[in-house]
Amino acid sequence: MAESCIFCRILSGEIPGQFVYQDEHVAAFRDIHPVAPVHVLVVPREHVESLAKATPGQRDLLGRLLEAAAQVARQEQLADKGYRTVINTGVDSGSEVAHLHVHVLGGRQMQAMG
């Protein structure tokens, strides 16, 4: 599965990505179809299909993913006014890529969710 995963291919450099953050565990790059002025995807370097497929052994990785999302928000100067983080899981969520990722969205007023 990981061989055909577009995010794995971006992480390997096979497909170019506009990276805004990288460390040994996670990377963040701009979404090619942004829905907000700032729309960055934060992904683990390890292929994890979804939040539902994450294992207890990946607890530290999940924490690093959220830490990196907060770092991206600070870098993109979203922290003071606010931003949204979204993790879509499964087909009904609208997820298009089967690789765990956090959307960091900001730069405009977001609509309330329900």
DSSP state, residue 81: T
The reply to whether 103 belongs to the active site is no
Cα 79 → chain centroid: 17
Residue 104 contacts residue 85 (beta carbons within 8 Å)? yes
| Active-site entry in 39, 99, 101, 103 | 101
Distance CA 56, CA 111 (A): 33
Residues that are catalytic: 101
